[in-house]
Chains A and B, each alone.
Chain A
Amino acid sequence: MRLSRIKKRRILRFFAIMGPGIITASVDQDAGGITTYSLAGAQFGYGLLWSLLFIAVALAIVQEMGSRMGVVTGKGLAELIRERFGVRMTFGVMGVLVLANLANTVSEFAGVAASMEIFGWSRYATVPLAALLVGWLVVKGTYRLVERIFLGASLFYAVYLISAFLVGPNWPSVLRQTVRPTFHIERDYLTMIITLVGTTIAPWMQFYIQASIVDKGVRRQAYGYVKLDVWIGSLVASAVAFFIIVACGATLNTHGVRIETAEQAAMAIEPFAGQYATLLFALGLLNASIFSAAIVPLSTAYAVCEGLGWDTGINRTFREAPGFFSIYLSMVGAGALLILWPKAPLITIMYLSQTLNGILLPAVLVFMLLLINDRKIMGAWVNSPAYNLIAWGTAFLMVVLTLLLLVTSII
């Protein structure tokens, strides 16, 4: 028997394979991400590659925890925090999330401004336009489409991989520095490590991945696929970071360029793109920035409303879901406005926003750990000791690094 209507949909299956883990990992490579990895390569060469090994494992484990909570409970992270810890705690965590994501939104608009300034467009024109576009994308309710375009365009990162090989770095040295950790207690170095962690394992991603799992409706029996998806996503994200750092290390660092503008960051892909390097870089950065500028405030609004029990949904009107739209629109508005500050240093903004993410990460991690180890919530699906060690270790290390940074900044 030929079931023509069922078979017809096979083409769409291509997208279904790409799960929340891979999607989250791609959305993670936003303006702040590109900037941070570029700066890491330009400033420290291959010196920080070793940290990526640790970050990759920590990222996978933290994301896996979120997705496991989503599968087992069928609830979002904000919802679980609310049900387990009450209104006050929820308010606190949501405050942290809004703060971190406001920083991210600002950095996305900085990305828009920086990429368009390469073409000589003024930020006073491009940033408001981008804000309108972002608002329109969401009001039109084509979020899924946004996600797809965004993901398609993330193939842009492949240019770093090719560039890294074309420039022909000293591979033995790259490998050596990848496996041999070095550490200095020095302000710039500490800031960079915190920022690398913050941009790769961002607080908002934990809410985002769990929400995607819940929306998708994954049954416990299918959990194996989710785990695979999360690990692939995390490894791909770390690989992208790796090649951006190598490409920047081999080009910018060897020539002693310190990135102050997006044009300088674009030099890293010149070995591949030649004279089109700046053009390609600008388009890549613009894509990452605009779509993240749509997704980050949206995921924040969803999480906050979920925690506080407010109505959500882009299909509703402002009157029906005032909290949801207020949060979304004020984040987009504030993010765009802050960039219009005269002579706002775009690269610095993109970089430091990610540092803030790193500093705030432990707050979210602690809640995730308390929830996932609660047998009343997770039953037999609580963390294994190895997972706990790595996740608690990450949270603890981030606090220590932040304290160290504080000390070195004062002295």
Chain B
Amino acid sequence: MKTRPLLFSTLRHCPVMDAAGRLVGHLKDLILLPLGILPPVTKLVVLTSEKEELILPWETVARIERDPAAIHLSSEGEVLQPVPLRPEEMELAQSLLDRKVVDTKYHKVIRVNDLEFQETQGRLQLVAVEGGLRSLLRHLVSDARVEQLERLFNVRLERETVAWEVVEPVETELTKAKHRAAYAKLAKLHPADIADIIEELSPSERATVLASLDDETAAEALTETEPEVQSSMVQMMESEQAADILERMEPDEAADILSDLPEAKAQELLETMEEEEAQEVVELLTHEEDTAGGLMTTEVFTLPPDLTMVDAIGRLRSAEVAEAETIYYIYVTDDLDRLLGVLSLRDLILADPGQRLDDIMVRQVISVRPETDLRAVAETFSKYNLMAVPVVDEGGELRGIITVDDVLNLLLPMIWKQRAAKKYI
């Protein structure tokens, strides 16, 4: 038979005896040094019969007894030396049990009902946290009674444990101090997964998580979250931090978020943002939401017509391209930003290296006006099978481009609605 796991609910409040077998007190809490995959318990907090708290190093523990649970110390009560807590240590009952944690493997937020330990060579290590109904019932009735209930209703309540390796507490001393590296495990996930987790948290927790990530990851995660979550999160953050993140987002995404905020807050953020980025966002905000102008991004990669293919490819490799949303199409503009023609990356690579851009570029460019509505934009995409479409104003000036994914995000809900409607008719 498999041995029963060693649980915090069993140990908590169990008697602590000294070497002579006399009662020192009852276990109040365990102290963890949260490092590594199997973090060690370093201290124990004993509540003595005089209601005093005694923090003892784990080294004083001789053995742990089960059934009934008891902790035996290796020295006598009189010589016990209390030790102080270190700031990096974690009081389990205080800051982990009953708290919310993130399961970074399955991207879920759960509440901790119990903790599971393992004993190896006299050390106690935290293995996993437990959620689920079974551990909840354990607090109300004994484990044996839970098993009786299982037999009575003929169900099996599985233990729902999450290995500590993938557990990230939502709130710790680190996060309260707004420490940058507070969510080390979470920060390693894909921004889209971080976004999923963020959506399950409360507004203030969301802001804390976002603030702890580096600006780049935060910007990507923010882009991936639901619109209503985005605006509430930005509102909860310090303006400085929110502005830093908004600067790193695509201007069209940033504009979407700002347009959902109260005017005063949006203005404040625009003023806090870097001049250049703010300018781009402001330009986008002047367009209506469901028009080409509202959809487009102003980060476009353009080249002059007299460039040779070799130079053009050289420019593509340069740093300025990093900002552009797509380099699938290369837009050729004159000094006044008027769109002269377009060529695809494929055209560029297959062409003779000595040719100039205006030799091979397509001059009849498919484009939309800033005021073109969403449906017409979408139709343009599907009719001409485009990956991106330029937005050109009446003066022929290139104002921005719309990429197919921007349109997809807006069209999908419409498509789903139509499908759902068909299903019920």
Contacts and interface: CB of A to CB of B under 8 A. Distances in A.
Interface of A: 1-7, 9-10, 13, 16, 73-76, 82-83, 86-88, 91, 214-217, 219, 308-309
B287 interface: yes
16 contacts: A3-B266, A3-B285, A4-B285, A5-B259, A5-B294, A9-B263, A73-B204, A83-B99, A86-B97, A88-B139, A91-B140, A215-B202, A217-B207, A309-B112, A309-B113, A309-B131
Interface string B337-351: 000000000000000
A143 to B, nearest CB: 13
Contacts of A1: 282, 286
B110 interface: yes
B236 A7 contact: no
B98 A87 contact: yes
Nearest to A72: B204
Contact of B285 (A6, A16, A75, A219): A6
B242 to A, nearest CB: 12
Interface residues of B, number: 36
A217 B263 contact: no
Contacts of A88: 139-140
A308 B112 CA distance: 10
Which of A2, A87, A216 is the most central at the interface, judged by chain B CB atoms within 10 Å of its CB?
A87
Contact of A214 (B97, B202, B261): B202
Main secondary structure of the interface of A (DSSP, over half): helix
B232 interface: yes
Contacts of A3: 263, 266, 282, 285-286
Interface in B284-336: 285-289, 294
A309 B109 CA distance: 9
Contacts of B205: 74
A214 B204 contact: yes
Nearest to A313: B200
Nearest to A220: B204
A10 B294 contact: no
Interface string B232-270: 110110000000000000000001001111110010000
Given A2-B286, A217-B202, A308-B111, 13 more contacts: A4-B285, A4-B286, A6-B258, A6-B263, A13-B262, A16-B262, A74-B203, A76-B202, A86-B139, A87-B139, A217-B207, A217-B233, A219-B236
A75 B260 CA distance: 24
Given A1-B286, A3-B285, A217 B98 contact: no
A304 to B, nearest CB: 12
A5 B285 contact: yes
Nearest to B111: A309
B410 interface: no
Interface string B94-125: 00011110000000001111000000000000
Contacts of A4: 285-288
A44 B370 CA distance: 69
Contacts of A7: 263
